[in-house]
Amino acid sequence: MTLTVDRAALTRNEQLTFRANMGVGRHGWLRLTPAYGVRLVRDRLAGLPAGSIVTDPFSGTGTTPLAAAELGHIGQSVDVNPFLIWLGTAKVSNYSPETLLATADAARAVLADARKHKEDNDLWQPNLFKIEKWWSPGALHALKALRHSIDEHVGPVEDLLEIALCRCLISCSNAAFNHQSMSFNESSGEPVLFDMDDAERTFAAFNTEVVALVESARYDLTGSATIHHGDSRAGVKDLRQADLVLTSPPYVNRMSYIRELRPYMYWLRRLDRASDAGDLDWRAIGGTWGTATSKLNTWTPEVETPVDEAMAKVCERISQDGGKNGPLLANYVHKYHHDMWLHFQAITAQVKPGGGVSYIIGNSTFYKHEVPAHEWYAAMLRELGYAEVNIEVIRKRNSNKALFEYDVTGRRP
């Protein structure tokens, strides 16, 4: 099996055309289940004059800055998670034909080297809890060997190889990544034996991923984008004032991005201990993974918000009806909106006067009590003097009749 890359195509100086990029391309590099769709983002960017500044204060996988750069704008985004800064930066970079040829050559060398390792190798493996649930012994052996060989490379070549490794982790895993939150496939409970075919399938998957990645990386972006590390509850320096803030912030649904990103973060050595995962999640708005949950128990607000009265009524009902978890969940809802209020205050100075904001957000329910985040967002924007504040229903979220996704928009006066 060989790694086949269209070398002639790589050396042609092809500019990104709008049509070429209308497919998924780089947007498909690593999907995060709760990420919003690129079509929605492109729709919201339509009509902006070329060269507009588009900010996403909750970058995630970088959908907004990438879509903005593809359409000739200047994208900029912020995230608390260093792994997502790295991923977003790799997605919005331009890769020269030489770099892509070097990546194809490096991948060939990585595969040849990885195949030489024996089954009982003692190579590094991530400190992921119950790693044997994630991968069969054969697949794990291959992933360790690939990781070891990728370490020989640096710079953009290593970035692309690591993204291919991440994609390979998913395709060879026993975990199902296609649900709202990842889960493990059913197993018979029998011990799984080492199978060299599993290792070979993993090597083949890596090969396929590199070819696809190199192909999608060869189109230059007509605009540009930068991804910043920071906390969107505070002003982020180095950001230019935006013509449009377009984002899908964390939802009020206790979904943990760290939990979803664990496999990638451990294999890419951006996480080594479960306690670090909890610390990182505590810094994220709405984070409740691991130790972040226990910290919520003793959390108290630093500031009042314009929705405190309405929120107190809902939180009281959640607290009463939620049994022993009720007070914790009431605190969760309170802290989430408290943090979003800090965010709305901080971001306002980073929007041009007359510039727009668009927040794609869902409501939620706890013990059948609705948490109308969309209405509370709109109230906070009005409090800050935004004009034309509007709530548009985008779609019904799932079979729960009460759950919808909204676009909350406004214009900075």
**Rounded to the nearest whole angstrom, what is the least distance from the CB of residue 352 to ligand SAM in the complex?**
21
Nearer to ligand SAM, 149 or 216 (CB): 216
Q: Which of 261, 339, 331 is nearest to 297 (CA)?
A: 331
Residue whose Cβ sits closest to ligand SAM: 60
The residue type of 132 is: E
The residue type of 116 is: K
**Rounded to the nearest whole angstrom, what is the least distance from the CB of residue 336 to ligand SAM in the complex?**
10
**Rounded to the nearest whole angstrom, what is the least distance from the CB of residue 221 to ligand SAM in the complex?**
17
Q: Which residues bind ligand SAM (CB under 6 A)?
A: 32, 34-36, 58, 60-61, 63, 78-81, 84, 231-233, 248-250, 257, 284-285
Query: Which distant-in-sequence residues (6+ apart) come within 8 Å of 29 by Cβ?
Result: 61, 87, 90, 91, 163, 167, 213, 216
CA distance 338 to 271: 28
- Alpha-carbon dihedral sign for residues 69, 71, 73, 78: negative
**Rounded to the nearest whole angstrom, what is the least distance from the CB of residue 409 to ligand SAM in the complex?**
16
**Rounded to the nearest whole angstrom, what is the least distance from the CB of residue 233 to ligand SAM in the complex?**
5
Nearer to ligand SAM, 5 or 41 (CB): 41
Residues 366, 367, 369, 372: what is their CA dihedral angle, to the nearest 10 degrees?
A: 10
The residue type of 192 is: V
Nearer to ligand SAM, 223 or 249 (CB): 249
CA distance 290 to 275: 7
**Rounded to the nearest whole angstrom, what is the least distance from the CB of residue 270 to ligand SAM in the complex?**
13
**Rounded to the nearest whole angstrom, what is the least distance from the CB of residue 229 to ligand SAM in the complex?**
9
CA distance 91 to 184: 28
- Alpha-carbon dihedral sign for residues 157, 268, 285, 300: negative
Nearer to ligand SAM, 76 or 207 (CB): 76
Q: How far is CA 399 from CA 36, 111, 368, 396, 403, in A?
A: 19, 45, 14, 8, 8
DSSP-derived secondary structure for 254-283:
---HHHHHHHHHHHTTS---HHHHHHHHHH
**Rounded to the nearest whole angstrom, what is the least distance from the CB of residue 117 to ligand SAM in the complex?**
34
Nearer to ligand SAM, 57 or 326 (CB): 57
Which strand ranges, in their side-by-side order, compose the sheet holding 242-247? 224-229, 74-79, 53-56, 242-247, 351-362, 404-411, 387-396
Placement of tokens 């195509």 in the chain = 9
Nearer to ligand SAM, 86 or 206 (CB): 86
Written as six digits, the tokens of 388 are 């034309």
Nearer to ligand SAM, 243 or 339 (CB): 339
Q: 347's torsion region: left (phi>0), alpha (psi -120 to 50) or beta?
A: alpha
**Rounded to the nearest whole angstrom, what is the least distance from the CB of residue 28 to ligand SAM in the complex?**
12
Nearer to ligand SAM, 135 or 282 (CB): 282
**Rounded to the nearest whole angstrom, what is the least distance from the CB of residue 149 to ligand SAM in the complex?**
29
Nearer to ligand SAM, 146 or 285 (CB): 285
Nearer to ligand SAM, 284 or 381 (CB): 284
Buried b (16+ CB within 10 A) or exposed e, 91-102: bbbebeeebbbb
